[in-house]
Amino acid sequence: MRLGVLDIGSNTGHLLVVDAHRGAAPLPAYSHKEPLRLAEHLEEGEVSKGGIKALTKFVADAVVVAEDKGAQDMLGFATSAVRDADNCDAVLDHVADETGVRIAVLPGEDEARLTFLAVRRWFGWSAGRLAVFDIGGGSLEIAGGADEEPDVAWSLPIGAARLAREHFRDGNPGEKGLRELRKKIRADIARDAGHLLRGGTPDMAAATSKTFRSLARICGAASSDEGPLVERVLSQRDLQKWIPKLVDMSADDLAELPGVSPSRTHQIVPGALVAEAVMDIFGLEALQICPWALREGVILERLDQIAAT
């Protein structure tokens, strides 16, 4: 069947049209995305009128695109920026009234769980006990386990866009500000790290989504042009060498780096600090970069549900 998957993230609205059936990898047929940056449209805890307008227009446009591409069904979900907004229900009601699309809000634990499912299916059972990390715009997701359902899964409000908005709005916060941010990130991650650490050292540690992919590319991983089957790894040693350089770079310099889009330059340093903290606190020398993430997890779960009926 052909599905339209509508992912409303903290940074980007992304419609992915896929050909999917149980037992096969979802095959992307068409991609349509817009840099909504909803995390930056939060005003006093609510999505602003401008953010609601941008979101509604994107969803309306996505409906037309999905219909044009022959999608039989639409799966819509929203993550941290909408989930955390005080006016979340009102925003999604407005979108539904205007577009006919009811977007579901994924709790952070479900976001981590579905991302874990996608990574497990990508690497397979040979990965053994698996740990998965995903730095999104609004949150960091962590999950681990030996099966398709993780033993532990949780979410922390330390996504790259959120930290950029809170600590880099006026530019580089300086040495003292960076030290305080580093301290906060590590304390937040370490608070519940035992959930994962009690299971022992994972046989494989993997990372997904744009921030980790960009950092891996900066550190020398293969470009996206080489396809999804090429192994990509982010090493702690390489990342630690790069962080001081990234801190000293201007936005223009960051935009010139491989794998970095101009719209995300402000997120690179906070994202790198979160990635470094993850690898240090969980004792990981390297992370395998997985091309599948939350969207694929949502698709795979829907296919499982259809097969079970």
Q: The tokens 């419609």 sit on which residue?
A: 15
245-253 average pLDDT score:
95
Strand ranges across the sheet with 2-8? 27-34, 13-19, 2-8, 73-78, 104-105
Let me know the angle formed at the C-alpha of 120 by 117 and 124, rounded to the nearest 5 degrees: 145
Q: What is the pLDDT of residue 279?
A: 98
Query: Residue 170 CB: number of other CB atoms within 10 A?
Result: 7
* ∠ CA 22-10-51, rounded to 5°: 120
pLDDT tens-place string over residues 175-189: 999 999 999 999 999
Structure tokens at 304: 């499982």
When pLDDT is averaged across residues 203-230 and rounded to a whole number, the result is 96
Phi, psi (rounded to 5 degrees) for 261: -90, 150
108-294: in CATH 3.30.420.150: yes
pTM of the entire structure?
0.94
What's the CA gap between 131 and 151, in Å, rounded?
10
Predicted confidence (pLDDT) per residue in 274-294, tens digit: 999 999 999 999 999 999 999
Residue 209 has pLDDT above 80, yes or no: yes
The domain spans of the chain are 2-105, 108-294
Strand 73-78, strand 104-105: pairing: parallel
Six-digit token pair at 158? 């330390």
Residues listed for the chain: 309
Contact 243, 273 (CB under 8 A): yes
pLDDT tens digits, residue range 105-132? 999 999 999 999 999 999 999 999 999 9
User: Domain 2-105 maps to which CATH number in 3.40.50.800, 3.40.50.620, 3.10.20.30, 3.30.420.40?
Assistant: 3.30.420.40
One-letter amino acid identity for 296? E
Cβ proximity of 142 and 133 under 8 Å: yes
Same fold for the pair 2-105 and 108-294: yes
Which tens digit of pLDDT belongs to each residue from 95-107? Answer: 999 999 999 999 9
**pLDDT-derived band of residue 144, with 50, 70 and 90 as boundaries?**
very high
Mean pLDDT over each residue of the chain, to the nearest integer = 94
Could you count the other beta carbons within 10 Å of the beta carbon of residue 68?
10
- The DSSP symbol for 110 reads H
Q: Output the CA–CA distances (angstroms, integers) from residue 225 to 15, 200, 217, 258, in the order listed.
A: 21, 36, 12, 12
